[in-house]
Structure 1
Amino acid sequence: MSTETTTQSEYINIGQLSSYLGWSPRFIEGLVRGEHLPGLEVQGQCVFRRDDVVDWLEQKIQTLDTARVTELEAKMESSLLADGTFRTTRTDRLTSRLPLKGIALDVPAANKTEVLHAIATTAEATGLLFDREHLLTSLVDRESLCSTAMPGGVALCHPRRPIPSIIERQFLCLVRTSAPVDFGAEDQEGTSLFFLLATPDDRSHLHGLARLARILQGGTLDALKAAATSEDILAALAEAESRIQIKD
Structure 2
Amino acid sequence: MNLSVKDTARILSVSEKTIYRWIKQQSIPAYRVQDQYRFNRAEVLEWATSRRLKVSDEIFNEPEAAGQPVPSLVEAMESGGVHYRVSGHDTESALREVVQLLRLPGEVDREFLLRVLLAREAMAPTAIGDGIAIPHVRNPVVLHIDRPTIALCFLEQAIAYGALDGGPVNILFAIISPTTRAHLHLLAKLSFVLRDAEVREGLRGQAPRQRILDLVRAAEDRLVGAGS
TM range (shorter): 0.7 to 0.9
Query: SS of 2:96's equivalent?
Result: helix
Query: Counterpart of 2:36?
Result: 46
State the TM-score, normalizing by the size of structure 1. Answer: 0.75
Deviation string, structure 1 residues 190-228 (Cα, Å, up to 9, x no partner): 111101111123222222111111000031222123134
CA-to-partner distance for each residue in 1:74-106, whole Å, 9 max, x for gaps?
536x864x23x31xx6xx321111226522112
Call closer, same or farther: CA 1:119–1:79 in 2, change over 3 Å: farther
Match of 2:140 among 162, 171, 180: 162
1:239 maps to: 218
Distance 1:217 1:160 in 2: 24
Further displaced range: 198-207 or 215-224: 198-207
The CA distance in 2 between the partners of 1:160 and 1:40, in whole Å, is 16
Q: Give the match for residue 75 of structure 1.
A: 61
Residue number among 76, 93, 96 corresponding to 1:117 in the alignment: 96
Q: Distance in 2 between matches of 1:193 and 1:25?
A: 27
Match of 1:55 in 2: 43
Contiguous gaps of at least 5 residues in structure 2: none
More deviation in 171-180 or 53-62?
53-62
Are 2:207 and 1:207 aligned?
Answer: no
State the partner residue of 2:130: 152
| Contact 2:98–2:153 under 8 Å retained in 1 | yes
Please say if 1:182 is aligned against 2:160: yes
Distance verdict in 2 for CA 1:226–1:42, change over 3 Å: closer
Q: What is the CA-CA distance between 1:130 and the residue it aligns to?
A: 2.4
What is the CA-CA distance between 1:23 and the residue it aligns to? Answer: 3.8
Percent of aligned pairs sharing the same letter: 23
Partners of 2:178 and 2:154 in 1: CA distance: 24
Total equivalences in the alignment: 222
Normalization by structure 2: what TM-score?
Answer: 0.81
Counterpart-to-counterpart distance in 2, 1:222 and 1:118: 25
Tell me if structure 2 keeps the 8 A contact 1:224–1:236.
no
Number of the residue aligned with 2:76:
97
Indicate the SS of the match to 1:169. coil
Q: Residues of 2 paired with 1:198 and 1:26: CA distance? A: 29
2:22 corresponds in structure 1 to: 35
Which residue of structure 2 lines up, in the alignment, with residue 194 of structure 1? 172
Q: 1:156 to 1:128 in 2, by over 3 A?
A: farther
CA RMSD of the aligned region, Å? 3.1
Alignment counterpart, residue 132 of structure 1, candidates 102, 110, 117: 110
How far is the alpha carbon of 1:146 from its aligned partner? 1.7
Contact 1:32–1:38 at 8 Å: present in 2 too?
no
Which of 1 and 2 has greater Rg?
Answer: 1
Q: CA deviation at 1:164?
A: 4.8
Distance 1:25 1:222 in 2: 27
Q: Which amino acid aligns with 1:214?
A: F
State how far apart, in whole Å, the 1-side matches of 2:15 and 2:176 are: 27
- Deviation sequence 1:41-94 (CA, Å, 0-9, x none): 554x423253xx63353133243543x34443x536x864x23x31xx6xx321
Contact 2:81–2:151 (Cα < 8 Å) also in 1: yes
